Amino acid sequence: MSVRIFYAMNGYSFDYDRTVKDILKALATDETGVEADSVTAYFRTHTAPLAPEYEATIDLWLSRIDGSDRQSGPRPHETTDDEPNDCDRDARSEE
């Protein structure tokens, strides 16, 4: 469910089937045996733009998360010099 929400928040729907369970199991047991191209193809064939009727819901979720008035749909890649979750890289290197 969290993957579907992640996709929705980025303007896409992810309509997976039981194959995703096999992919995850293979990744968990021996990731070197998993062909990245086939997994990428699977995700592409099971991903579509989110239906317009969900746009208001996604906008509401996003506004509650970051306090802004963002629009739903594909998002430009956001970069920042700060680590997520207030993680301080310098503090870790001193340990």
Q: What is the pLDDT of residue 70?
A: 52
Q: What is the pLDDT of residue 2?
A: 79
The H-or-E segment that residue 13 falls in is strand 12-14
Q: What is the pLDDT of residue 50?
A: 87
- Indicate the DSSP class of residue 12: E
Please answer whether residues 58 and 9 qualify as being in contact, where contact means their C-beta atoms are separated by less than 8 angstroms.
yes
Q: What is the pLDDT of residue 49?
A: 92
pLDDT along the chain (95 residues), means of 10: 81 90 93 93 92 84 72 50 51 50
Q: What is the pLDDT of residue 77?
A: 47
Q: What is the pLDDT of residue 36?
A: 93
